[in-house]
């Protein structure tokens, strides 16, 4: 058994954290496999959307305390607090976190990097590192303020407190909170809708502009300039014509642009 299962069908890659007997506690091997899967999916035109979830009843219970080496031991020279490389928000492909159960520590901070988070309403969530004598990781000091604002980020990161999915949705951390049995199915349904109905190049350009604007602190006018530049890339393209034709003919579109082959950085 591998710590990560990858299944691709109908344009959707489902990446499953796979240590259910340990509530999918995070290991270095799991992280390396996730990084590899993210890269491969992002370079594969057959993958139009990615869903990240956990096997069994938990999403990820945090760092593996049962490992031979404590995750909080004195760090080696190679230590990084952001082992997710690339982060989900650095991809071109939309990433949906199907947080199907408890997500603690790095289990939650990885999910914060996704574009969309569908979270189990009755599960427990926390970025608990300050209660373990360390600090939050995976760029959560950046992702959380951007998702939910500085006040919410301070509340969650500085207290390490536990909250449920309903509160996560109220705070803006969860895109949607659902009963745990519905989380994965809903996330896959969203991913399949993207895979069928959203032009892949349009999704890639829009995602990169959305995140790059935050990362680089673009002004509204700079965003306007880039929106105009990117419109010029796609307007009049085969996919732009196909999108209109499919809408008028009330049929599923047949996209032809290749992000893998035709991508030009913004």
Indicate the residue among 166, 194, 222 that finishes a domain: 194
Q: Which of 151, 160, 87, 91 is nearest to 125 (CA)?
A: 160
Other CB atoms within 10 Å distance of the CB of residue 16: 21
56 and 132: one domain? yes
23 and 135: one domain? yes
Q: Is residue 210 situated within a structural domain?
A: yes
Q: Where are the alpha helices (DSSP H) in 57-132?
A: 106-111
Q: What is the pLDDT of residues 8-27, one digit of tens each?
A: 999 999 999 999 999 999 99
181 and 219: one domain? no
What DSSP character marks residue 192? H
Number of independent structural domains in the chain: 2
45 and 69: one domain? yes
CB-based contacts of 178, cutoff 8 Å, min separation 6: 118, 119, 120, 121, 165, 186
What range defines the domain where residue 209 resides?
199-249
For residue 31, give the CATH number of its domain: 3.90.226.10
Could you list the pLDDT tens digit for every one of the 266 residues in the chain? 699 999 999 999 999 999 999 999 999 999 999 999 999 999 999 999 999 999 999 999 999 977 666 666 667 778 899 999 999 999 999 999 999 999 999 999 999 999 999 999 999 999 999 999 999 999 999 999 999 999 999 999 999 999 999 999 999 999 999 999 999 999 999 999 999 999 999 999 999 999 999 999 999 999 999 999 999 999 999 999 999 999 999 999 999 999 999 999 99
pTM tops 0.85? yes
Tokens encoding 254: 């047949």
Check residue 76 and give its pLDDT. Answer: 77
What DSSP character marks residue 208? H
| d(C-alpha 30, C-alpha 81), whole Å | 15
């Amino acid at each position: 058994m591998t710590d990560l299962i990858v299944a691709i069908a109908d344009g959707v890659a489902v990446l499953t954290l796979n240590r259910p007997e340990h509530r999918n506690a995070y290991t270095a091997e799991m992280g390396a496999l996730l990084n590899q899967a993210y890269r491969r999916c992002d370079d594969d035109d057959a993958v139009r959307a990615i869903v990240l979830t956990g096997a069994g009843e938990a999403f990820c219970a945090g760092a593996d305390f049962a490992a031979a080496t404590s995750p909080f031991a004195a760090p080696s020279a190679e230590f990084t607090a952001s082992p997710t490389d690339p982060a989900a928000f650095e991809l071109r492909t939309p990433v949906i976190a199907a947080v199907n159960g408890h997500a603690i520590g790095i289990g939650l901070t990885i999910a914060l990097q996704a574009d969309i988070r569908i979270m189990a309403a009755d599960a427990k969530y926390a970025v608990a590192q300050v209660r373990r004598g360390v600090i939050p990781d995976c760029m959560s000091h950046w992702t959380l303020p951007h998702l939910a604002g500085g006040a919410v980020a301070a509340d969650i990161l500085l207290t390490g407190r536990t909250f449920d999915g309903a509160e996560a949705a109220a705070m803006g951390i969860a895109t949607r909170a659902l009963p745990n049995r519905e989380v994965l199915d809903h996330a896959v349904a969203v991913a399949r809708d993207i895979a069928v109905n959203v032009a892949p190049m349009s999704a890639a350009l829009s995602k990169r502009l959305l995140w790059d604007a935050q990362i680089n602190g673009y002004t509204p006018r700079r965003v306007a300039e880039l929106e105009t530049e990117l419109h010029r890339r796609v307007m009049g393209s085969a996919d732009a014509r196909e999108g209109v034709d499919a809408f008028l003919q009330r049929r599923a579109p047949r996209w032809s642009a290749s992000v893998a082959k035709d991508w030009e950085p913004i």
